């Protein structure tokens, strides 16, 4: 069911450009039992607040005080709950995501895997 909702989310995001989300190409890495991935992956990331995620998925599963990064990776939809406090308010925008000292956001996906998301052209991992 969650996969269907997320597929629907990507369709909605493509059809409704007025949706208050921020989209950016980012480099991502994940943590496994072997440590951090040796390579990074360039993916298109949709950044949304928990409130926006709840609206798009028509649920109350997401923390309204957090920001989420959603992207496709190896045929799967990954939802990362960002650990940093970004203070985006009720809607995400470029300022909220990129106007930080650190260019790396960290968080965990829906199965507990750790991720690092680089929001600038170069990141020293």
User: Where are the domains positioned within the chain?
Assistant: 2-118
Helix, strand and coil content of the chain, in percent to the nearest 5, comes to 20, 35, 40
pLDDT (tens digit per residue) in 87-124: 888 888 888 888 877 889 999 999 999 999 999 877 77
For the chain, how many residues are written?
Answer: 125
pLDDT (tens digit per residue) in 27-59: 999 999 999 998 889 999 999 999 999 998 899
pTM: 0.83
Task: State how far the Cα of 42 lies from the Cα of 52, in Å rounded to an integer.
Answer: 24
């Amino acid at each position: 069911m969650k996969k269907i909702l997320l597929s629907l989310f990507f369709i909605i995001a493509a059809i409704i450009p007025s949706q208050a989300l921020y989209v950016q190409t980012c480099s991502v890495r994940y943590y496994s039992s072997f440590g951090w991935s040796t390579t990074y992956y360039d993916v298109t990331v949709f950044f949304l607040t928990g409130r926006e995620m709840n609206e798009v998925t028509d649920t109350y599963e997401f923390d309204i005080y957090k920001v989420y990064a959603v992207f496709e990776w190896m045929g799967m939809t990954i939802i990362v709950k960002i650990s940093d406090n970004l203070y985006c308010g009720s809607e995400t925008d470029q300022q909220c995501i990129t106007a930080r000292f650190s260019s790396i956001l960290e968080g965990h996906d829906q199965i507990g895997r750790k991720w690092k998301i680089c929001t600038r052209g170069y990141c020293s991992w």
